[in-house]
Amino acid sequence: MQALIDIVLPADQLEGTSAVLSKWLINVGEEVKQGDPIIELETDKVAMEICANQDGVLAEIMMHEGDDVPVEGVLGRLSESGAVIQESDLAQTVAPEQEEVSYADEETYQRSASKLVGPAVRRLLRQHSLDLSQIQGTGRYGRVTLCDVKAHLATLGEIAPQSVSQKRVTKSPLTRHDHDARPLVGEMKPHTSMRKSIAKHMTESLLHTSPHVTSVFEMDMTNIIEHRKWHKKEFAELGVNLTYTAYFLSACVKALQAVPEVNARFHEEGLELFKDINIGVGTALANDGLVVPVVQQVQEMNLFEIAYGLNQQTEKARTGKLQPSDMKNGTFTISNHGVSGSLLAAPIIINQPQVAILGIGKLDKRVVVKEVDGVDTMVIKPMCYVSLSMDHRALDAHQTNRFLQVFVDAIQDWG
């Protein structure tokens, strides 16, 4: 029996979050190089990969798809690079609970190995009263994986209408249409860990923690549109995409410095005011949920540095490379919901334990009244709604409206 190296999840990778093993990226017996991704995890905030800490061969899988991953828990084991995995070792790695069972031949072993399933699969089988032998396995030696069970359930969902239609349905005299009595048929899409966390976080924030109040201002984007037009190419030549959101972060610094109570955390005994301004930006991951990468110490940055930091974080988010540490220590959050077409969203749920969240609506050309040479005149301007949802335990209308006024002035007077 050769020496094996444990594959573990370091404590600093989770930063206090929980994780579920979503997928093994290699099979037992496959070689890997140091730094190669071998496991995909899903935390309550991000999807992340665990990489091999040295060259080797995957010799043993200890945890399976759908299993909760404990900090410092052993996920699997690598053999040293160049070592050969013996058949006896493989039997132990695939089925440690059956170490004392000897197999007369390879065919017998494979038949037995195909019946081994992880705890997540067993839970799903019990939950839906499924027969393991009726499910086609795609894992090693035909082992049934969590994805196989979900695919089987989807198939059952597709044929359900046929089985229902074969049943006799007794209509009451008041039934006017056949379709009134037809049962609903749907397909269950299991929640990801991220979606469960979002649901819990939002419910806790709105219903159990903060009394939300939202104030809305209107904002003229003319000046930053013009500024961006003249500097976008300059930034791009230096490898940085200049977005409107970079301007919003810069304006937030002025507003938070003018109203420091907004850059704070509520405690029963007082309001904790922060010197650093660490701004999180809500970033949608299509149908996979929402993450909030944080740009740290924005108060120390100029526009170029803000744009660069923002580019780095949003790129990580969209390529699935965010680490839990990238979302730590936020003191304020921006929800730029207008990028998907929304004019106004209220209230935007506060990202606890912060005390406020800024919402930016869709940029829209609108007719507004401006005083031109002393005469009220209708002009077309690029406008958007900007809102601040705040925790009424910590803030009142005075601080909320003061923050928005400073923010709007910073954008409209940009020069």
Name the residues annotated as catalytic: 392, 396
The upper half-sphere exposure of residue 409, i.e. CA atoms within 13 Å in the direction of its Cβ, equals: 10
State the maximum Cα–Cα separation within the chain, in Å, rounded to a whole number.
Answer: 99
368 vs 260: CA distance, rounded Å: 32
78 vs 50: CA distance, rounded Å: 13
